[in-house]
Structure 1
Amino acid sequence: MYGTANAYNAYKNNSINYASKEQLLLMLLDGGVKFSKIGRQAILDKDIPKAHEYLTRAQDIFAELMISLDTSAGSWAEQLFSVYDFVKDRLGYANFKKDINVMNEIIPIIEEIRDVWNEAYRISKGSK
């Protein structure tokens, strides 16, 4: 089993090290969806430490997306920055209050952001 774990970790590291910036963006967004859902379930399970850990991870992803966004690219980039900021703030609020309603509101938005970027990536690569 230990050898399998090492092989998986090597694969995962290589996936990240050799991914394009577009693929890294998609990986981050997949992580945002995953961590938000785990955090939501932890709130439902009343597992406060786990909820905090995963909601903080999701917030960190959106903070990184904000930092890496080139807002000089135009108004669309500034608007996207505002969306990322909104998501990060709502995740923070949900984490602070352990509010399941906020998580139910924000997870579809995170999924939509991921889906839009996935579609943009597919279109940019010429596949439909």
Structure 2
Amino acid sequence: MVMNKAYHTYQNNAVNTASGGELTLMLYNGCMKFIKQAMKDMENNDYEAKNTNIQKAQNIIQELMITLDQKIEISKQILPLYEYLHFQLKEANIKNDKAILEEVLGFVTEFRDTWKQVIIQTRKQNYTQGAQV
């Protein structure tokens, strides 16, 4: 019980102190987790849990869509991809299609990996600039 409370406190602190980039990374990781769980739920014929986990993944994709900065050109290219992923999650849920979930998981993983590299490069630049001052 105490460990559970400590972990929960740690998670809250991690979210509350994270940068925007780190929060986006957390969203991608959460989306991947829910998609993987939905795939397991499908295998176990637990359709209620599958539905819940796919809806959680859809909510994360919606949050990513809402938080896109439309003033940045790449956001206009990413939005249709997020819309596609959101639609595919709905299709996977309706059709109980694991292959669609695997496709979406692949895209989300690529987004996450790319985002991770952006964070690393930004940190390197900030560190280099800070060292020069």
Question: TM (normalized to structure 1)?
Answer: 0.93
Instruction: Report the equivalent of 1:96.
Output: 94
SS in 2 for 1:125: helix
* Cα root mean square deviation, aligned: 1.1
After superposition, give the CA deviation of every residue in 1:28-59 in whole Å (9 maximum; x if it has no partner): 00001111111111112111011001110000
For these two proteins, the number of residue pairs brought into alignment is 125
- Tell me if 1:39 matches 2:38: yes
Instruction: Report the equivalent of 2:116.
Output: 118
Instruction: Report the equivalent of 1:15.
Output: 14
Instruction: Check conservation: 1:39, 1:50, Cα contact below 8 A.
Output: yes
Instruction: Report the equivalent of 1:55.
Output: 54
Instruction: Check conservation: 1:71, 1:81, Cα contact below 8 A.
Output: no
Query: What is the deviation of 1:104?
Result: 2.1
Query: What is the deviation of 1:18?
Result: 0.8
Moved beyond 3 Å, runs of 4+: none
Percent identity over paired residues: 30
Q: Distance in 2 between matches of 1:6 and 1:106?
A: 33
SS in 2 for 1:46: coil
Instruction: Report the equivalent of 1:65.
Output: 64
Question: TM (normalized to structure 2)?
Answer: 0.90
- Tell me if 1:80 matches 2:78: yes
Instruction: Check conservation: 1:36, 1:107, Cα contact below 8 A.
Output: yes
SS in 1 for 2:124: coil
Amino acid at match of 2:82: Y
After superposition, give the CA deviation of every residue in 1:12-37 in whole Å (9 maximum; x if it has no partner): 11111111111100000000111111
Greater Cα radius of gyration, structure 1 or 2:
2
SS in 1 for 2:71: helix
